[in-house]
Structure 1
Amino acid sequence: MARTVGRLFADTLEELGVRHVFGVVGDALNPLTDAIRTSESVSWVGCRHEEAAAFAAGAQSQLSDTIGVCMGTVGPGAVHLLNGLYDAAKSGTPVLAIAGQVPLAEVGTDYFQEVDNDLLFKDVAVFRATVTSPEQLPGLLEVAVRTAIGRRGVAVLTVPGDIGDKELPADRPLRLSLVGSGNRPDDPALDEAARLINASGDVTLLVGRGARESRADVLALAERLGAPMVLTLKAKEGFEGDNPYQVGQTGLIGNPAAAWAMDHAETLVLLGTDFPYRDWYPEGKKVVQVDRVAEHIGRRVPVDVGLAADVGPTVRGLLERVGARKEREHLESARKKFLKWQEGQAKLAEPGHDRGLVGRMRSAFDNRDHLVRPEALAAAIDRVAADDAVFTSDTGMATVWLSRFVEMRGSRRLLGSYNLGSMANAMPQSIGAQLLDRDRQVVAFCGDGGLSMLLGDLMTIRTERLPVKLVVFDNQRLGMVKLEQEQAGLPEFGTVLDNPDFAAVARALGITGIRVERAEDLAEGVRRAFEEPGPVVLDVLTNPEEVAVPAKPTVQQGWGFAIAKVRENLDSSG
């Protein structure tokens, strides 16, 4: 029986195991969305903004290890997908985007809403093509899917409005199977890496998301080498809980123990990470890097031995070759510093911190309005959240507090725009995550700037009846930008947000809204939010003057901050 182009798309998604397609309907996509309407296993999720749709599709791809799917109709609808697709591309997760186009006869005439999609998506997509005839399918669709999955990126297929309802001239079965393999370096390369490690002094591991599926092997290597393990933010979910070797993160959101472990090692072993911040790599170290993506090797820091391979089989090969070390001083020193730092951070997050002597003195300078400390909010969420919760976080200070006060224990998962660094990702990513499993707890750490940017998709949460918990760090600021300005010696400018009562907005939309304005009400507000079976917006007024001290604060940053504060006080006093 002949199928239409739209029917072929729906059947392909069913075969791939895709459960949801995110987007905004429109004329060019009508034949495709109508086919999804009649699908038995694929559901259409109508979003209020295509950017949210792309973020949600990318979240599902990262959590399920299947391809995510989103759609945007002709012109502006396709353009709106772009930011979420860039996030998927930089996160290395497969997403198929279907973009609408004007009718074929009008392509190239500057027709109403016409956009050159192949040019628009050139930078973000590993594969892109415009369907110009039904004869191109299903072959073109198969190539798009295989490329997205094989290269872990974004594939964009553009479908003109008069193509979707046309019948295929000849039907044939879809051929979408991909055979995976464990990529292991050859023996000479492993021998070279082992010789370097065996001949070196103290070793520190820098572990990224690419090692997450090889946790047991990586922990065995840390034990063998007596090596502290510095984690990237994206490695928290795989390596943080029950790990006697980890010392947290380095970088601006990191801690002094992780920076010390990097600085005092003779050799760094990078496992499945493309940690981008060059300034946080110490100079003069021997470096071994393992990454399945060859172009990642050596692009952040000079590498002595590069192994372009999967982490698991590579580490197992190294375990056969590196000798066990009895000396544990490097590991023990790093762990001692890390535990001491954690104790200090825990004191900042105590509910009664500001009532103590130190807290009262501190508040006189940085929290005169006695707003909730963001550390206390993050720690309170960590205490009540389930051990299998999925966390999403907006770029900025919300991520800082999550990284320091939420432990990825149990089977917790973590998503964020940690490579693109986009605003407004946490809420739409929570939509994709919750639709995968309505019974699994999903918690979004939202900045007030991020939530307000895509606020309309709160209505998607209501429409789909998704029980997500949206925790708003409402400091009425673009907090990270404020901090960056002040560290550079600039007075705060352009960062103040005239926010509504987000809890009241939520209630107006039919969502439970809870607002917390005082520290003494925090525990009760968090308890109520997490006991509520449906969606909740927990709007917490947090201290905008809270400073997240980086792992290695510099004198220049300190002076810059002091100068900025003087300028701000002069401005406020006229």
Structure 2
Amino acid sequence: MISESDQSTNETVATLILKQLEKWGVKRIYGVVGDAIIGFMDELARQDTIQFIAVKHESVAAMMASAEAKVTGRLGVCLATMGPGLGNLLNGLGDAYLDKAPVLAITGQAPTPKIGTDYKQYIDQQELIKPLAEYTSLLAHPDAITDLLSKAMKTSLVKGAVSHLSVPKDLFTMNSAAKIYPEPKMIQGNTLIDEKEIIKVVEVLKTANKPMILAGLGAKQAVSEIEKLADIWGAGILVSLGAKGVFHDSCKSLLGGIGQGGNPYAKQLFQQSDVVLLIGNLWWPEGYVPQHAKVIQIDIEKENVGNGIPVELGIIGSAERLVPLLTESLGTYTQNQTWVTNILTVKDKWEKQNEQEGLQTEQPIHPSRIVRAIENSVKQDAVITLDTGDVTVWFNRNFRSTKQQIIFSGEWRTMGFGLPAALAAKLCLPEKQVVAIVGDGGLEMTLADLLTAVRYNINITVVIFNNHALQMERDKMIASGSIQKDVDLTNPDFAKIAEACSWKGYSITEESALEETLNKALLHNGPTLVVVETAPIVHPETKG
């Protein structure tokens, strides 16, 4: 362990980077070894406090760092060599950038005498990463290392952003007199909310005849308070995909998701609403939202208010502090009983249809039936990671959540996210059941990192919807009348590949075998991959 002294004397840049990261609670670094970071790798090998997770591709390293940040709320760290190493990180960093996950990328750079020359792999990395990084800098002197590193980490944690530090190859092994900085402890003060602002919001809430609440992941700590507000206000609760596991499906006001894959009957109701309260949510799907409603937004970050959403009033603060104040201030509000009845009718209608969709017995197996089998098999507090594509919308449509934590690529929507996210989630939460739900196309993008699970004994289960196509793209081609070109996939025998990688592989072709096989996979002591032959069903809400 590191000495509590905040002063380092004559230690190498590589040593100080590791000590500074440890001081701020970093447990692991994801990356791929390369020439420009050998000096850093040497120091990593000399300590055992921070674990290095060697993956097969840098994009996976960055996706794992982003997933760790989403799972824990803490800093995720990835490492790569210069040039192509950073280039490969960009996909995963894009996910962190758009989903506001605090991620630090450290990359090597050309030796200091070669910076700006025609040296192999050299590029101005600050320019390359600029669109994605809130902060990026090049280390120019050994003594500046912890100044730059602590600034990068603070920027990521405070702003929920990507930060980046380039370190020239020769500087890693140079001695430095830099000191270690402690992590600033942010204490939430008891700052009083301006009562005038609360009054303004409540005045608008009271004008509602058809109120609706749209909650996102920022509502996580205020679930019971939001349900109470909905009961008093007579509002339905809609959720973004990120909040799917936040509210229990049994909540009487909960209508489910909105947008493609959400409650198909909620759209018409939502479009009739006259006052919408957004709580910790940035999701505003065009084509599903009301055009003339008054929109109020509660968010912890001022910069999120009105970002692509027609917000009339914004109030800054945490949902758990603000929602009880709104409920208390509503007083004797008179609900629109017709609207409340409509909410309950829509909820009941979709619940009955959803139940039936999950019982389909056709061959190949219907996506809704696969989702229902997963729902029946996973633990109530499991961590579920989603890949991007057809699996996302079917999961959103049919999965009825309890307390599961759902991790996915929200705004960047990169294919290949499901497996890396599951690997990171299990490393962070080893006591949790972790299940990745992926499409065949998405898994093929990160297939090599099945070996990462074996290397580090990461016990996860991966479920593949094997429909032999980029199904979402095929659906859109069908809906738009386009020629279905090159959306079919040339798939391997995934179960055999899993076995070759020392996973346990299962194949399901019969609907009746779903739960039994999934339960076997989930109970197996080791990584398991379940391949389900999936019907190529066009999602009912597909638009061309």
Secondary structure of the equivalent of 2:30?
strand
Distance 1:167 1:258 in 2: 62
Q: Following the alignment from structure 1 to structure 2, what is the Cα–Cα distance between the partners of residues 173 and 136? A: 11
| Correspondence for 2:188 | 181
**Whole-angstrom CA distance in 2 between matches of 1:438 and 1:313:** 32
1:231 aligns with 2:239: yes
- How does the TM-score come out when normalised to structure 1? 0.89
Structure 1 unaligned runs (5+)? 355-369, 561-574
> Aligned ranges for residues 94-133 of structure 1 at < 5 Å?
94-133=102-141
| Contact 1:257-1:335 at 8 Å conserved across structures | no
**Structure 1 contact 226–325 (Cα < 8 Å) conserved:** no
Q: Specify the alignment match of 2:14 in structure 1.
A: 6
CA distance in 2 between counterparts of 1:324 and 1:413 reads 36
Question: Structure 2 residue aligned with 1:65, among 45, 66, 73?
Answer: 73
Residue 425 of structure 2 corresponds to which residue in structure 1? 433
Q: Give the structure-2-normalised TM-score.
A: 0.94
**Against the structure 1 CA distance between its residues 18 and 129, is the aligned structure 2 distance closer, same or farther, given a 3 Å change threshold?**
same
1:171 to 1:230, Cα distance in 2 relative to 1, 3 A = same
Give the one of 135, 158, 162 matched to 1:150.
Answer: 158
2:512 is equivalent to residue 520 of structure 1: yes
SS in 2 for 1:260: helix
Distance, in Å, in 2 between the alignment partners of 1:16 and 1:408 is 34
C-alpha distance in 2, partners of 1:455/1:194? 52
Is structure 2 residue 282 aligned with structure 1 residue 274?
A: yes
Any idea what SS the aligned residue of 2:245 has? helix
2:34 equivalent to 1:35: no
SS in 1 for 2:364: coil
Query: Do the aligned residues in 1 keep the contact of 2:30 with 2:53 (CA within 8 Å)?
Result: yes
| Contact 1:10–1:39 under 8 Å retained in 2 | no
SS of the equivalent of 2:530 reads strand
Identity across matched positions, percent: 30
Report the AA paired with residue 443 of structure 1: V
- Indicate the residue corresponding to 1:319 in structure 2: 327
Pairwise CA distance, 1:184: 6.6
Equivalent-residue separation in structure 1 for 2:358 and 2:401 (angstroms): 18
Cα drift, residue 120 of structure 1: 0.8
- CA shift, 1:284, in A, is 1.2
> Helix, strand or coil for the counterpart of 2:256?
coil
CA–CA separation in structure 2 for the residues paired with 1:137 and 1:86: 25
Matches within 5 A, 1:129-208: 129-168=137-176, 170-181=177-188, 185-208=193-216
| Residue among 364, 372, 376 paired with 1:371 | 364
State the match for 1:309 in structure 2.
317
Measured against aligned partners, the alpha-carbon deviations of 1:124-163 in whole angstroms (never above 9, x if no partner) come to: 0111001011121211111111111010111100111001
Q: 1:214 to 1:523 in 2, by over 3 A?
A: closer
Which residue identity lines up with residue 94 of structure 1 in the other structure?
Answer: P
Match of 1:292 in 2: 300
Give the structure 2 partner of residue 570 of structure 1. none
* Aligned twin of 1:540: 532
CA distance in 2, matches of 1:240, 1:422: 28
Q: Give the C-alpha shift of residue 257 in structure 1.
A: 3.3
Q: CA deviation at 1:324?
A: 4.1
Aligned to 2:300, the other structure's residue is in SS state coil
Question: What do the CA deviations read for 1:451-476 (whole angstroms, capped 9, x no partner)?
Answer: 00111111111111211101000000
**Corresponding residue for 1:549?**
540
Structure 1 SS opposite 2:303: helix
Give distance in 1, aligned partners of 2:192 and 2:272: 30
Residues 1:333 and 2:338 are matched in the alignment = no
80 and 271 in structure 1: CA distance in 2 versus 1, 3 angstrom threshold: same
**Shift of the alpha carbon at 1:40?**
3.3
Secondary structure of 1:188 counterpart: helix
In the alignment, which of 359, 375, 400 is matched to residue 350 of structure 1? 359
Q: Once the 2 structures are TM-superposed, how far is the Cα of residue 282 of structure 1 from its aligned partner?
A: 1.3
Cα offsets for 1:367-389 (capped at 9, x unmatched): xxx21111111111111111121
Question: What is the CA–CA distance in structure 2 between the aligned matches of 1:81 and 1:206, rounded to whole Å?
Answer: 33
Alignment of 1:339-418 (within 5 A): 339-350=348-359, 353-354=361-362, 370-410=363-403, 412-418=404-410
Please state how far the C-alpha of 1:242 moved relative to its aligned partner: 4.1
Aligned residue pairs, count: 534
Correspondences of 1:258-269 after superposition (within 5 Å): 258-269=266-277
Structure 2 CA distance for aligned equivalents of residues 451 and 21 of structure 1: 23
Q: Say yes or no: does 1:459 pair with 2:460.
A: no
The one-character-per-residue Cα deviations of 1:499-554 (angstroms, maximum 9, x if unpaired) are 0111111111111111112323333322321221110110111001x13222xx8x
Distance 1:77 1:339 in 2: 51
CA contact (8 A) 2:384 2:434 kept: yes
* Offset of residue 293 of structure 1: 2.9
Could you tell me which amino acid in structure 2 is paired with residue 374 of structure 1? P
What is the distance in 2 between the residues matched to 1:242 and 1:255? 15
Residue 507 of structure 1 is matched in structure 2 by: 499
- Amino acid paired to 1:293: E
Q: Can you list the C-alpha shifts for 1:74-122, whole angstroms capped at 9, x where unaligned?
A: 1111111101011011111101110111101101112101121100110
Counterpart amino acid of residue 357 in structure 2: L
Is contact 1:126-1:155 (8 Å) kept? yes
Contact 2:16 2:180 in 1 (8 A): no
Kept in 1, the 8 Å contact 2:280–2:298? The answer is: yes
CA RMSD between the two structures: 1.8
CA contact (8 A) 2:104 2:163 kept: yes
Equivalence for 2:436: 444
Residues in 1 aligned to 2:343 and 2:47: alpha-carbon distance in whole angstroms:
55
Within 2, Cα distance between the matches of 1:163 and 1:223? 61
1:493 to 481, 485, 501: 485
Counterpart CA distance in 2 for 1:390 and 1:153 is 23
C-alpha contact 2:20 2:180 (8 A) present in aligned 1? no
Which blocks of at least 5 consecutive residues in structure 2 are unaligned? 1-8
Mapped partners of 1:549, 1:335: distance in 2: 23
Q: Check 1:525–1:11 CA distance in 2 against 1; reply closer, same or farther (3 A cut).
A: same
Are 1:275 and 1:300, in contact at CA under 8 Å, matched by a contact in 2? Answer: no
Taking a change above 3 Å as real, the CA distance of residues 490 and 180 of structure 1, as seen in their structure-2 partners, is farther
| 1:278-327: CA deviation from partner (whole Å, max 9, x where unpaired) | 32221111111122333332233322212233322222332232234453
Give the equivalent residue in structure 2 for 1:419: 411
Could you tell me how far 1:393 is from its partner in structure 2? 0.7
- TM-superposed deviation, 1:256: 2.8
Change (3 A) 1:301 1:177: closer
1:19 shift after superposition: 1.4
Question: Secondary structure of the equivalent of 1:155?
Answer: strand
1:362 is aligned to: none
Q: Is the 8 A contact 1:257 1:334 kept in 2?
A: no
1:428 maps to a residue whose letter is P
Q: Report the CA distance shift for 1:146/1:336 in structure 2 as closer, same or farther (over 3 A).
A: same
Q: C-alpha distance in 1, partners of 2:522/2:398?
A: 18
1:564 maps to none
